[in-house]
Amino acid sequence: MAMKFYTLDEMTDKHIGKRGTPARECFEAEVEAALIGASIKEARKSLNLTQKELGERVGVQTAQISKIESGRNLTIATIVKVLNALGLSADFSIQGLKPIRLGVGTD
């Protein structure tokens, strides 16, 4: 008997909801926030900074950095502050609009 394989999209559609549904939109936003937080954590560690040191650079408590790195309490303003504190920038684009750069080196 042949085993049926499913794509990630098929499984996500089945268990989370199809694209465009509120549940799927919420799920996608949470995944994106977690990825941003993980990138911030990776950047911090590559600079050999502790959460406390990054918090001091940003002007927030260590607990706030922990939340940011876990993808919680993320706003564009917070992301820009953290990028600046790390000496980094990120490109941000909205489909159909000109990309913008966030953080150090903004135009």
Give the model's pLDDT for residue 107: 45
Question: Does position 38 have pLDDT exceeding 80, yes or no?
Answer: yes
Whether 44 and 69 have beta carbons less than 8 Å apart is answered as yes
Candidates 103, 22, 31; CA nearest to 70 is 31
Q: Tell me whether residue 52 is exposed, middle or buried, using C-beta atoms within 10 angstroms of its C-beta: 0 to 12, 13 to 18, 19 or more.
A: exposed
105 has pLDDT over 80: no
* Cβ proximity of 60 and 69 under 8 Å: no
Task: Identify the band that residue 31 occupies on the pLDDT scale cut at 50, 70 and 90.
Answer: very high
Nearest 10 degrees: Cα torsion 50, 56, 36, 22: 130
- Which pLDDT tens digit goes with each residue over 57-69? 999 999 999 999 9
pTM: 0.81
- pLDDT band with cut points at 50, 70 and 90 for residue 97: confident
